[in-house]
A and B are shown apart, each in its own frame.
Chain A
Amino acid sequence: ETGVTQTPRHLVMGMTNKKSLKCEQHLGHNAMYWYKQSAKKPLELMFVYSLEERVENNSVPSRFSPECPNSSHLFLHLHTLQPEDSALYLCASSQDSKSSYNSPLHFGNGTRLTVT
């Protein structure tokens, strides 16, 4: 399997649930990202990890908690979400976060999250 894989593809959760989104990349990249894609809004960068270290937290509420146990895996733990958090959550990877000029992002298919 190659590329960036995200699971699950679809997730419906209540506001009191706890769930996690998973991302796995098989490209040998060192940087991984979470982006949020809401309807009618540009994609928003949420988190950046480089060599398992978080290098950017783009003012994301604490109900979103990322985890990067190694350079191939990235999680987004969700807790006490709001209906406005419903969106497509996209994971991406690149060679490393400091060479975006030479290394375009490779995206997964995304997880379509619906908060009820």
Chain B
Amino acid sequence: AQKVTQAQTEISVVEKEDVTLDCVYETRDTTYYLFWYKQPPSGELVFLIRRNSFDEQNEISGRYSWNFQKSTSSFNFTITASQVVDSAVYFCALTPPDNTGKLIFGQGTTLQVKP
């Protein structure tokens, strides 16, 4: 069975602090994709990144970076120099290798960045 766990329910930081959101996944498949989505107060989920199971290179996009480690089944997300606009719920998700476009989401981490 596949499962995604985001152990941090809520995180509160002060602006300009760095913050890391944890994601641990479970799957028996050798091929899978991992995602991060951001859900601002407006409600829609905004796609941030997709990573396939064969690519363990870390990725950096501006203030965002992702650390994928298959050895620990983790796909952590770090925001550097956080800003108030980063306040949102962040979801980690896993796609199993079937053909239904199904995303298995974690419970989400609510990030509050205070000015």
Contact = CB atoms under 8 A, between A and B. Distances in A.
Interface of A: 4, 9, 31, 33, 40-43, 45, 48, 50, 55-56, 88, 90, 92, 94, 96-101, 103-110, 112
Interface stretch (B16-24, B63-71, B80-88, B94-102): B94-102
Contacts, number: 67
Contact of A100 (B45, B46, B91, B102): B102
Given A90-B45, A101-B95, A109-B44, A48 B101 contact: yes
B62 interface: no
Question: Could you say which interface size class chain B belongs to?
Answer: 20 to 34
Contacts of A103: 101
A88 B43 contact: yes
Nearest to B100: A56
Contacts of A31: 101
A88 to B, nearest CB: 7
Interface of B: 4, 33, 35, 37, 42-47, 50, 52, 91, 95, 99-108
A42 B105 contact: yes
